[in-house]
Amino acid sequence: MRKIIGAFLAMSLMLSCAIVTKGKDGKAGTAGEPGLNGKKGADGISGKLVKPEKTFFIDSNLVRKHLYTLAADDMEGRKSGTPGIEKAAVYIENEYKKIGLTTFKGLKDYRQTFTFKNRRTKEDITSSNIIGVLEGKSKKNEYVIISAHYDHLGMKKSGEGDLIYNGANDDASGVTGLLVLAKYFKEMGNERTIVFASFTAEEMGLIGSTHFGKGIDADKFVAGINLEMIGKTPSFGPNTAWLTGFDRSDFGKIIQKNLEGTGYQLFPDPYKKFNLFFRSDNASLARLGVPSHTFSTTPIDVDPDYHKLTDEAETLNMTVITQTIQAVAKGTESIINGTDTPTRVIIK
């Protein structure tokens, strides 16, 4: 890629979350309604204590910053085992730290580092999953995992011009979603523990997520939310996404219920012949019984940029990413807060 990005000024709109009703300070906005402290409002009539709802804005500028950083040329296509992906790893670690995520049990920091053999080249590769945690308030031992893969294809060996597989949609967009959701749930609170996993070596065969799956008690994982390629307008139109393996658990139905009235719709994966349920990191956990599904927005049957040098940040729609992140936040709310538990996946 040789294009120069023209600053982050194109879109500064703040899209408010659908659940927002009151100010961040909890003060009532209208006369008579009590504020956070339960005192009466301006007119002194109402005395009923109203629980203030928290406010969180998903900022499309933050979406843009994460996306353009992770898909930048200096990450050199983020191939597992290269200096380029290491830059991405450091960026993700720093973001986890800023948000205030804790480490996953058994790990001394955010890295789960391991060595594996590349199936094609037979070389040994050492790489890391980057894992952070937001401990749940009341259901600490029930985990929801939010994941995306931060690796991609690296660089083309020879040729002229652009040789970098930036992987903006695949899957810098998903990692962007993960980082924004981590900040969101840090602000909003969570009853169940959330594990944020940026997986390595997905492109080499779901290696990072498979490794992660080997070290966990899968029974404790009540749901898996995997984000893949959420940067393009779906064939269903704006404000929609699709979910892989929709019929394999009732996870998708729970999301649909939570999205009712928001104007955003979730559909079952329309690309059955592509077998997408088994082609991303959700599968590594689904094989262990976890209702773990992938959200995507990309019309993958006709997408001209999939696994191409042209998968660049400029081809993505920041509004689609931002709205999809909001929808995932709202759609998974009842699972995160422990009131809904999806049925387990059974793979024969």
Residues in contact with Zn ion by the rule CB under 5 A: 170-171, 228
346: left (phi over 0), alpha (psi -120 to 50) or beta: beta
Bridge partners of 129?
112
**No. of H helices and E strands in the chain?**
8, 10
Supply the DSSP string of 74-134, one letter for each residue.
Answer: GGTT--TTSHHHHHHHHHHHHHHHHHT-BPPTT-SSSEEEEEEE-TTT--EEEEEEEEEEE
Minimum separation from the CB atom of position 196 to Zn ion (A):
17
How distant, in Å, are the alpha carbons of 170, 233, 277 from that of 237?
20, 6, 22
Minimum separation from the CB atom of position 122 to Zn ion (A):
23
Minimum separation from the CB atom of position 313 to Zn ion (A):
15
Q: Which is nearer to Zn ion, 226 or 249 (CB)?
A: 226
Q: Which tokens is 339 given?
A: 């009131």
Q: Which is nearer to Zn ion, 28 or 89 (CB)?
A: 89
Minimum separation from the CB atom of position 165 to Zn ion (A):
12
Q: Which is nearer to Zn ion, 193 or 209 (CB)?
A: 209
Minimum separation from the CB atom of position 6 to Zn ion (A):
27
Q: What is the dihedral of CA 27, 33, 36, 37, to 10 degrees?
A: 120
How distant, in Å, are the alpha carbons of 118, 199, 203, 204, 241 from that of 121?
6, 21, 14, 11, 36
Apex 288 CA angle, 283 and 293, nearest 5: 35
Q: Which is nearer to Zn ion, 174 or 331 (CB)?
A: 174
92's CB contacts (< 8 A; 6+ apart) are: 110, 130, 150, 175, 179, 198
State how far the Cα of 299 lies from the Cα of 230, in Å rounded to an integer: 10
Minimum separation from the CB atom of position 228 to Zn ion (A):
5
State how far the Cα of 286 lies from the Cα of 30, in Å rounded to an integer: 47
Minimum separation from the CB atom of position 27 to Zn ion (A):
44
Q: Which is nearer to Zn ion, 153 or 181 (CB)?
A: 153
Q: Which is nearer to Zn ion, 147 or 193 (CB)?
A: 147
Q: Which is nearer to Zn ion, 128 or 294 (CB)?
A: 294
Q: Which is nearer to Zn ion, 33 or 170 (CB)?
A: 170
Dihedral of alpha carbons 112, 115, 119, 121, sign:
positive
Burial class (CB in 10 A: 0-12, 13-18, 19+), 204: buried
Q: Which is nearer to Zn ion, 93 or 171 (CB)?
A: 171
Minimum separation from the CB atom of position 73 to Zn ion (A):
19
Tell me, rounded to whole angstroms, the distance of Cα 168 from its chain centroid.
Answer: 14
Is residue 166 a contact partner of residue 312, using CB atoms and an 8 Å limit? yes
Minimum separation from the CB atom of position 229 to Zn ion (A):
6
